[in-house]
Amino acid sequence: MSDPVLAKPPADCCLSGFPHEGMPVGTFISVADVKTYITRPPSSATQNRVILYFPDVWGIDVFLNGQLLCDYFASQGFLVLALDYFRGDPVTLHRKDRQDTTTEPGFDYEAWKAKHQAFAAVAVPKWIDAVKTQFGTPETKYAAVGYCFGAPYVMDALSKTTSTACVGAFGHPAFLNESHFINCARPLFLSCAETDHTFPAPSRHRAEELLTAGKRTFHIQLFSGVEHGFCLRGNMEDAYERFTKEESADGIVRWFKKFM
């Protein structure tokens, strides 16, 4: 049975970005034998709200931007855990930006993606189960957020068959098919860029059609003038890019609080 692609695999557009400034407050632990960034809310009374964070191709272990975003979510009243399914091998070890051909001249981007997808397919469900065992209670509610490479794990967590999370969100997604939207059973927030080669306008419109046809609860947030990666890797010295990055994060927080 055909399952048309809506969000294509990460491409060269995923290899550019700007480093953000700040001092992460989280720490790294091991969960289900996977290195995991954990950052806690100011009050222990809010730790029954847990965010499962699925990184983009830049990873989490050395990616300051991702750690700072997790810290922001935590500051808003969530326990946040982000797994390193790249196992210390983010794409930035091989390509510094989309024009870079010197860091690793023979780098096979397709093989790199396939290797880490294969690991994540096995590791993510085990990791989620371990998070629930180590940090959950019968009252705990879970949200899932993912960027680019991480989007399908959000959709899996919201699917009819698992419903691991009660709410989810993604930004500039990759690796999504129509079935991800057909099977979505929980509220979904889509944070999107006007220019996105992995999730272009026709795909976004089709996703909206599928969610509407299924009578799902969803919200599409769309910013003009930005590209794939704006949620995580925009230029914070540009006032508009900073605004879109912050509005994306704030919108996700409000969405999660509404349904948690």
Question: Does 166 qualify as catalytic in the annotation?
Answer: no
Interatomic CA distance for residues 47 and 79, integer angstroms: 5
How far is 164 from 166, CA to CA, in rounded Å?
7
Name residue 190's amino acid. L
In angstroms, the CA 194 to CA 225 distance is 6
- Catalytic member of 172, 192, 228, 231: 228
Q: Does the annotation mark 196 as catalytic?
A: yes
- Rounded to 5 degrees, what angle do the CA atoms 18, 38, 127 make? 105
Strand 188-195 and strand 167-173: the pairing is parallel
**Beta-bridge mates of residue 218:** 188
Look at residues 128, 122, 117 and name the one whose alpha carbon lies nearest to residue 91.
117
Q: What is the Cα–Cα distance from 133 to 130, expressed in whole angstroms?
A: 5
The DSSP symbol for 89 reads: -
Q: Which of 13, 14, 70, 148 is catalytic?
A: 148
DSSP class of residue 78?
-
Q: In the structure encoding, which two tokens stand for residue 53, read together? A: 């964070």
Residue of 172, 192, 196, 231 marked active site: 196
How far is 193 from 229, CA to CA, in rounded Å?
8
- The verdict on whether 180 is a catalytic residue reads no
Which residues are tagged catalytic?
148, 196, 228
